[in-house]
Structure 1
Amino acid sequence: MIIYQSKTIVIREFLPSEEYLFISFFEDKEVTKFLPQLHANDYHQLFEIALKDYHLGSFGRWGIFDANSDLFIGTCLYRPFVEVPEQTEIGYSLIKSYWGMGIGTEVAKALLSYGFAKTKTNEIVALTDLRNTGSQKVLQKLGFKQLNNIKRKGVELNYFLIERSEKLK
């Protein structure tokens, strides 16, 4: 199922045969420098969970593909926010060759639209590594407000929030 499509990108469910794309994506140290460090087997489990989640409702982890070449360029997610149950969380990661091209902004905007359209949440959040200034700028450009930092699994992270506009409530 396609979550979002434009002239630039397609965000869609992974096919079971694309596990190798998902796992190899996380082998790039540049891609993972701002992400939680996991073991190789953890990525296999994340992929299996992603496939199961597609049948359970609005939440998920999807692949981002170049709309022109169909190349796999990243992953994104929309899920319940563990730390504050009434909030939902977005996240995305792209291969380095697609950094600085506006793709992150497009993905984050698509995830916001999807989240507010498909769920009743009034608050969507995003977390970033303290050093990830690129993603922080994307979130601020989209109207996210930076709150006090939050700790997840002992790691301090920037905590951003955007609220559903009054007209969408």
Structure 2
Amino acid sequence: MKIQTDRFILREILPTDIDGMYELDSNPEVHKYLGNQPIGHKEQLVDVINFIRQQYLDHGIGRWAIIDKKTQDFVGWAGLKFVTNDTNNHIHYYDLGYRLIQRYWGKGIATEVAQACLQYGFEQLNLKEIYAMADANNEGSNHILRKLGFRQIESFDLEGILHFWYKIEKSEFIAK
């Protein structure tokens, strides 16, 4: 399973991505709007990677590693996830997510790879709708979601923090 954009390859997250995942998830700035709980040890990521890999088997989809075509560096992850637990009174839905190592912020990467993920979801998986959520204070992520064509349809409380709930339908999506 591989998707390509102009600058990046999106592929399955592998156990060998543990160093990149550690750089990503040990950074407090990356976790500022994700509950402020960065990881402290690489060993914590073994279960995370195994969980993601199990999603590929169970649902045929999951978060993908973002790999820079020129350098082959791990940049972060992006992708669709089939959510089976209740979030904001929703269950069994496809969620778009992305997370980048801090040194790659502000370069249009999240928008580029998220666009590719949406295209895959609508064109290859034939999904009717895709959801996303973001901390209300995360201006960067909220901007990206709106730029991609998501509509904010609700606000909700997630563990005491205001979040925005977004949706985009296949009929609203414009492939670029």
Q: Same fold (TM over 0.5)?
A: yes
- TM-score between the two structures when normalised by the length of structure 2: 0.82
Q: State the shift of 1:17 in Å.
A: 2.2
Query: In the TM superposition, what whole-angstrom CA distance separates every residue of 1:45-89 from its partner, at most 9, and x where no partner exists?
Result: 221111222233432121111111111111123112443235311
Kept in 2, the 8 Å contact 1:25–1:95? The answer is yes
For the residue of structure 2 that corresponds to 1:31, the secondary structure is coil
Q: What's 1:117 paired with?
A: 123
Q: State the shift of 1:37 in Å.
A: 4.1
Where does 1:31-70 land on structure 2 (aligned, <5 Å)? 31-38=30-37, 40=40, 43-70=45-72
Identity %: 32
- TM-score between the two structures when normalised by the length of structure 1: 0.85
Label 1:33 to 1:167 Cα distance change in 2 as closer, same or farther (>3 A).
Answer: closer
Q: What's 2:7 paired with?
A: 8
| Higher mean displacement: 133-142 or 14-23 | 14-23
Q: What's 1:140 paired with?
A: 146
Q: What's 1:80 paired with?
A: 82
Query: In the TM superposition, what whole-angstrom CA distance separates every residue of 1:134-161 from its partner, at most 9, and x where no partner exists?
Result: 1111111121111221233443211111
RMSD: 2.4
For the residue of structure 1 that corresponds to 2:67, the secondary structure is strand
Q: State the AA in 1 paired with 2:35.
A: P
- CA distance in structure 1 between the aligned counterparts of 2:91 and 2:72, rounded to whole angstroms: 35
2:163 to 150, 157, 166: 157
Kept in 1, the 8 Å contact 2:17–2:74? The answer is no
| Higher mean displacement: 61-70 or 72-81 | 72-81
For the residue of structure 1 that corresponds to 2:57, the secondary structure is coil
Q: State the AA in 2 paired with 1:85.
A: I
Give unmatched runs, 5+ long, in structure 2.
none
For the residue of structure 1 that corresponds to 2:155, the secondary structure is strand
